[in-house]
Each structure stands twice: as C-alpha cells, then as structure tokens.
Structure 1
Amino acid sequence: MMVERASLSDRLPSSFSPEAVVSIRQRLDLAREQDVSILFAIESGSRAWGFPSPDSDYDCRFVYACGMRRHLVLTQPRDVIEFPIEGEIDAGGWDLRKALLLALGGNAVVVEWVKSPIVYEEIHGFRQSLVEILDQVVDPIKVAQHYLGLARSHVARLGHFSGDVNLKKLFYLIRPIVALDWMEQRHFAALPPMALPDCLFETELPIATTQAIRDLIDRKAKTREMGTGPIPAPIASYVERRYAHHEKNIPDMRNDGADLALRHQLAEDFYRQTIERLG
C-alpha cells in the first residue's frame, strides 16, 4: 500500500510550525518501529475542530494495524500506542480493531478523526474506505448519545450559564450542542462534520447565536489567553435551551439484534480485508 505524506505547502495549514510537524513525524516513525502500519494520521483537538488559539497544542492522532504475523500469537499486543506529552506535542493512536469496536458502540472519536481536515499522512484511499464503512456500521443515535454525554459533562463543569466562566472551555460545550442540532435536523440519520464552523454553516440556528459563536471563534484565534468572562447572551440562551431540549428528546437507542449483528459483521469483514492486504 502506498503511504501519502502531507507536505507543509499543500495539505497542512501555513500556520503550522515546521518544527512541530517534524516532531510529529518522528513519533509516527517510532510507532512504525513497533511493527505496525499507520493507516492514517491526522490533527485532532481545537485546530481540527475549527477554534484554535495562537498557542494551541498539536494533537496528532492515528489509526494503525498490526501485520498478520502479530495476530498469530496467544497474547495480543496493546491496542494503543502512546507517547509522553512534550511541550506542545501530543501524539497517540489506536489499533484499527479498537477503533472499529468503539465506533460500533457509538464513540464518535474515530468518526471525527477520519473526517479531520488536517492530515499528516495516510495509506492511499484508506480514509475514504473507512468513511464508507463507518457510514454503514455506526448508529447515528448512539453517536448522538455520545455527544449528549459530552455536553452533560461540560455543563457539570461549568456549573451555570450565568456569571463568569472559562471562555476557552466554553467551546467544549458549544461543539456537541451544535452537533446534536445538526443531527436532529437530519432526523438522526447522518454523522456530523468534525469542525464546528462546518456544523454552524450547515445548521439552522438563530442568526444572533451563529454570529456570537463566530465572534468567539475569531476572538480565540487572536489571543493566547481568553480568561474568564460572562457567556455572550445569545450563546448562553442557546446552549441552555438546546441542552435541555436534547436531554429530553434524543431518540431511544435501537435494540434490533439482527441489525447489530449485520453492522458488526460488516466491520469485521472490513477489518479482516485490511489486515489481509497489509500481509
């Protein structure tokens, strides 16, 4: 399989530090020394979610697969590869089996990774093939439950919708609420984009809310430390109202054994075919 490495001049943002990219690729090479194939490596976190700060960390995430030989053992290897966080670099990855099993359970992380707009490298065509299989095996209602869980945890951390809050962390509540609105407007039949600006563009929201969120994104892009402050009124009203709505109106998860078995079989076939191609 041919590995494509993104170059700074075309697929990575011009704002990316060349030194940071070199450090990330060194970690990817170290991962390969563990006898694995990296299927794709992307940027996650605020840079890929569309609300970076000037000093945002680099969050490289990758999905890898072990070759056939490493499957023919009694003790399976760990299903994660992790590196210590050093300076502004945070890199780690999941085995493809782990990624698929979590996706089947409704974890939205790999669904987001595969749609990241910032790619360090990939095996040619793999991300598109993974997008296609995820569309078949991932239950959007389970993903909606995942986003509701994220929203619930960040509401608990904020503690209130009035008074001063950490404005930087406010984005981690806004993002899942907008994603839930995007999904609801499509009858929970599709998976949302990764980047918050894309979700905003494709979701019908009050004009004042959309503008307030975009203003906050612009503000975060220009300052290293947003500090604390009151939630802008259109955003406070929106997140409080829509969070309460989704708490009561997320569809119940399906309990169709035949459907679950089919999704699992499709994911397993994809996994097996990937491993066989790698050899």
Structure 2
Amino acid sequence: MTQKDLFTIAPEVRADIEGRLARVEREDGVRLLMAVESGSRAWGFPSPDSDFDVRFLYIRPRRDYLALRPVRDVIERPIVDLIDLNGWDIRKALYLLLKHNAVLSEWIDSPIRYVADNPAVPQLSELAGRYFDPHGYACHYASLGKGMVSRWLETDGQIAVKRYFYALRPALSVRALRLDPSRRPPMSIQPLMQAAELDQTLVDQVDELIARKTETNEAGNSVRFPEIERMIQDELERVGEVPKRVNPEKFAEEAEAFFLELVDRE
C-alpha cells in the first residue's frame, strides 16, 4: 500500500460523511470552518476496521454568543457504520489553543479534509504555530504515551499493533519537539519519523508495523520490537529537555481579535 493509499477514503464513505456534515449544519444552525479526519487513518496507520474519526470546527450565528443561556460548545453524533462525528465551537477551540492543546494542532494539520477549509483556518494555523508551547505539547504527548506503555510492558508476550502505535506516535512527537522546539510536530507518522530523525533500522521496523496494521484488525497482535520499545521509553522520559515558551498576553489578545472578527461576519 502506498503512502497516498493510506490517506484515501472510499468515495461512498466520503459521500456519506459529507452528507452527515451537511446535516449538522442544517440541524444545528452552524457553519463549518473545517472538517477533517483524526485518529489512525490520518496518522497514517489505519486498520481495515478502523473508525472514521471525523472532527470539525464550527461557528454559530452572532446572536448565539450573546444569548443569556450559553449554547453547548460541542456537537456530537452517534457512531454509525464506523463513522464518528464530533466537533468543537470555534470559541472552545480558541480557548484550548490558549492552553496549548495539541489535539487542535493535529486537526489543523490533518492530511484528510472533508470540506473546503474556511479562509480563517490558515489564520488559525499560523496563530497556533507562532505561539504554541513546545513543553506543554511534550507533556501532553508523554502523558498519552506513558499511559499506553504502562499497559503493554506488563506482558512478555505479543501486544496489539495499535498499542504500539499509541505509544510510538507520542514518543516520536516528544523527540521531534526535543530536536526542534520551534515547530509543532507533524500529525502523520511518516513526516513525524523524519522530524524525529530516526535511523533507518527503526524506520524499517516502523514501516513493518504499519504494513502489519493495514492487514489486520484493530485487535491484531504483533511480534515485539525491543529497539522500538527502548526508544519509546527513553523519549517519554525526556520531556524536561523540551523548553517552555511563556504564554504572552499578546497571544490572548490576538486569539480574541480573531474570534470577534469571525463572529462579526455572521
């Protein structure tokens, strides 16, 4: 399977997702700013039975932000046919951006888009890239990775391939931030390996894991890769080497101006 194939969504599934997103706009009275794939399909290591983790940002009409009773800032739909739709209000997204939320960063950079990005999305990406705190991101990824490692290091036997990746990707993100704290780590595994400057032996082993995962279900097991495991454990303990960036007041000012400009268009 080629790299392009990993990010290809079957036309009938894409049409279904686009239809559901259009219904969200109609039924909830919102306008989508972007809608992307998040999770293993966008990370570059899907299984045949992986969910479609559709994530979106939306904005409401101006009057909703002035209402006495706040409107819920999340829209969710039940998972049907492996399609999971979940979205955030742009105000919630900007609040989390100020908290250096790495999840929003990944949505912005997803290689799989379901609707055309609103012109505001590149502005959002630029704002995130200019002010993100590398140490905060590293702490987020280390927490994710350590939670997964604590589960699969308890056994000497085989582990599910997905468990490898759910520890590997956070570890690579910490490594990428450690090597270059000026850039948000890439979302997808191949550019992330490049940013982490992995040696060819590890790259080949990760590629083998990707091949295994694309051929088995989410619970499928893998042989153990001691070199990968040592790298994961090492990187997850090196968060302290990633520098902090002070959260300047100007960040909050620009985020608020960005939000008000968007709302005034509604």
Fold match (TM-score > 0.5): yes
Partner of 1:181: 175
Residues of 2 paired with 1:69 and 1:132: CA distance? 28
**How far did 1:134 drift?**
1.1
- Once the two structures are superposed, what CA deviation does each residue of 1:220-244 show, in whole Å capped at 9, x if it has no partner? 1122356234421221221122223
Q: 1:161 touches 1:240 (CA, 8 Å); kept in 2?
A: no
Q: 1:138 touches 1:263 (CA, 8 Å); kept in 2?
A: no
In terms of fraction of residues, the more helix-rich structure is 2
Corresponding residue SS for 2:116: strand
Query: Does structure 1 residue 47 correspond to structure 2 residue 56?
Result: no
Q: 1:222 aligns with which of 180, 200, 215?
A: 215
**How far did 1:162 drift?**
4.2
- Once the two structures are superposed, what CA deviation does each residue of 1:65-87 show, in whole Å capped at 9, x if it has no partner? 11112122111100000000112
Residues of 2 paired with 1:14 and 1:91: CA distance? 18
Partner of 1:26: 19
Query: Does structure 1 residue 82 correspond to structure 2 residue 70?
Result: no
Q: 2:51 touches 2:84 (CA, 8 Å); kept in 1?
A: yes
Query: Does structure 1 residue 235 correspond to structure 2 residue 233?
Result: no
Deviating 4+ runs (over 4 angstroms): 11-15
User: Amino acid of the residue matched to residue 263 of structure 2?
Assistant: I
Partner of 1:130: 124
Corresponding residue SS for 1:43: strand
Partner of 2:249: 261
- Change in CA separation of 1:12 and 1:123 when aligned onto 2, cut-off 3 Å: farther
Tell me whether 156-165 or 237-246 shows the greater mean CA deviation: 156-165
Q: Please give the root-mean-square deviation of Cα atoms over the aligned residues, in Å.
A: 2.2
Q: 2:7 touches 2:44 (CA, 8 Å); kept in 1?
A: no
Corresponding residue SS for 2:84: strand
TM-score (norm 1): 0.86
Residues of 2 paired with 1:276 and 1:83: CA distance? 28
User: Amino acid of the residue matched to residue 18 of structure 2?
Assistant: R
Percent of residue pairs bearing the same amino acid type: 35
**How far did 1:150 drift?**
1.0
- Equivalenced residue count is 262
Partner of 2:165: 171
Q: 1:167 touches 1:226 (CA, 8 Å); kept in 2?
A: yes
Partner of 2:206: 213
**How far did 1:250 drift?**
4.2
Q: 1:80 touches 1:94 (CA, 8 Å); kept in 2?
A: yes
Residues of 2 paired with 1:175 and 1:262: CA distance? 31
**How far did 1:161 drift?**
7.3
Residues of 2 paired with 1:152 and 1:216: CA distance? 20
Equivalences for 1:16-165 in 2 at 5 Å?
Answer: 16-33=9-26, 34-160=28-154, 162-165=156-159
Residues of 1 paired with 2:211 and 2:226: CA distance? 17
Q: 1:249 aligns with which of 232, 241, 248?
A: 241
- Gapped regions of structure 1 (runs ≥ 5): 1-10
TM-score (norm 2): 0.90
Corresponding residue SS for 1:64: strand
**How far did 1:31 drift?**
1.5
- Once the two structures are superposed, what CA deviation does each residue of 1:145-172 show, in whole Å capped at 9, x if it has no partner? 1111111211223244743222222101
Residues of 1 paired with 2:213 and 2:5: CA distance? 20
**How far did 1:273 drift?**
1.0
User: Amino acid of the residue matched to residue 77 of structure 2?
Assistant: F
- Change in CA separation of 1:157 and 1:41 when aligned onto 2, cut-off 3 Å: same
- Once the two structures are superposed, what CA deviation does each residue of 1:163-209 show, in whole Å capped at 9, x if it has no partner? 322222210100010011111111x2221111011111232123211
Partner of 1:202: 195
Q: 1:151 touches 1:176 (CA, 8 Å); kept in 2?
A: yes
Tell me whether 200-209 or 34-43 shows the greater mean CA deviation: 200-209
Q: 1:115 touches 1:194 (CA, 8 Å); kept in 2?
A: yes
